[in-house]
């Protein structure tokens, strides 16, 4: 994460195009395309997953430099268990190996790491390194890295509904207390503002059960680049594209406000 790279001409050009004051503070990424990237090169899918890890390390570094504060990445979905067990086992081992190798540097960089999802089916060794890593980095202030593993947006919403039902039937809350804020507080991402930008690599135009609640008004950027080929240039392009969007949140463009004067609406 600390290696100093000499910026290329294209990096410099794109860096200059970015409005440093309007970089999204929270970016979510569906890191997709590892398997296809490897197969196209005549390699086993596992090579794509390995390469994907080094891409993530680089994107964390770039995000920090841009003063983005939170990255939430999709590493393993609740549906990914349906893959051949060899691939699932490989991924579980990879998570453990990478975390062991990287945690001291993550901590030195003052990154707070958090795993989001149902960790219960994972092996003891992985659960243990996850909980020690979270505890070690708990008070780090520079950056938050959320890694979604065995994560599913629908499951998260159902779980939140269950918690609320329990609190309601025990009398801790009244049904009339249930609002968006309370619901949000039961989600696994509670305390973190919703992502302004979602990036999906590999060209697929779907959300695949990722952050269904939190992405309600995120800008979506889809690139055909496979995750193992994703890099600083592609990341800067996504942010520049984001900065060209008009985020209306159901309203109208601010410049059009004047055409809304009362006189224009009176019959
Ligand atoms: C994303 O890449 C990583 C995980 C889902 C773990 P894929 O493994 O889905 O790669 P493709 O989409 O099959 O190419
Ligand atoms: C989404 O990718 C999950 C992760 C990136 C971890 P998938 O490859 O599992 O999604 P689908 O199957 O293309 O929708
Ligand atoms: Mg995929």
Q: Residue 37 Cα, ligand 1 centroid: separation in angstroms?
A: 9
Cβ neighbour number for residue 88 with a 10 Å cutoff: 14
* pLDDT band, very low/low/confident/very high, at 40 (cuts 50, 70, 90): very high
Distance (Å, rounded) from C-alpha 170 to C-alpha 172?
6
Asked if residue 98 lies in contact with residue 147, where contact means CB atoms within 8 angstroms, the answer is no
Give yes or no for residue 83 CB within 6 A of ligand 1: no
pLDDT at 267 over 90: no
Question: What are the domain boundaries of the chain?
Answer: 22-152+196-244
* φ/ψ of residue 174, rounded to 5: -100, 150
pLDDT at 156 over 90: yes
Whether the predicted model's global pTM rises above the 0.85 cut = yes
pLDDT at 127 over 60: yes
**Residue linked to tokens 């135009």:** 205
Digit-coded pLDDT (tens) for 162-172: 999 999 999 99
Digit-coded pLDDT (tens) for 192-226: 999 999 999 999 999 999 999 999 999 999 999 99
pLDDT at 142 over 60: yes
Question: Please, how many CA atoms are within 13 Å of residue 171, restricted to the half-sphere of its CB?
Answer: 0
Q: Does residue 11 carry a catalytic annotation?
A: no
Q: Which ligand is nearest to the CA of 150?
A: 2
Distance (Å, rounded) from C-alpha 194 to C-alpha 184?
10
CATH code reported for the domain at 22-152+196-244: 3.40.1180.10
């Amino acid at each position: 994460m600390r290696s100093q790279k000499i910026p290329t001409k294209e990096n410099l050009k794109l860096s200059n195009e970015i409005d440093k004051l309007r970089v999204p503070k929270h970016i979510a990424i569906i890191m997709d395309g590892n398997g296809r990237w490897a197969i196209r090169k005549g390699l086993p899918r596992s090579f794509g997953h390995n390469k994907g890890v080094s891409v993530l390390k680089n994107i964390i570094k770039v995000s920090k430099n841009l003063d983005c504060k939170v990255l939430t990445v999709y590493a393993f979905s609740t549906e990914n268990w349906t893959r051949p067990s060899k691939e699932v086992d490989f991924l579980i081992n990879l998570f453990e190996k990478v975390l062991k190798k990287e945690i001291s540097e993550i901590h030195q960089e003052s990154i707070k790491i958090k795993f989001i999802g149902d960790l219960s089916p994972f092996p003891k060794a992985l659960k243990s390194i996850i909980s020690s890593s979270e505890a070690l980095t708990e008070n780090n202030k520079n950056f938050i890295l959320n890694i979604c593993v065995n994560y599913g947006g629908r499951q998260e919403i159902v779980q939140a509904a269950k918690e609320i039902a329990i609190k309601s039937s025990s009398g801790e809350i009244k049904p009339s207390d249930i609002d968006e804020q309370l619901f949000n507080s039961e989600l696994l991402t509670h305390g973190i503002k919703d992502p302004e930008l979602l990036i999906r690599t590999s060209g697929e135009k779907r959300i695949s059960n990722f952050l269904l609640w939190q992405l309600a008004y995120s800008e979506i950027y889809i690139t055909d680049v496979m995750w193992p080929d994703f890099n600083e240039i592609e990341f800067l392009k996504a942010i520049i594209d984001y900065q060209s969007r008009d985020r209306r949140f159901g309203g109208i463009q601010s410049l059009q406000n004047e055409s809304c004067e009362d006189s224009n609406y009176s019959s």
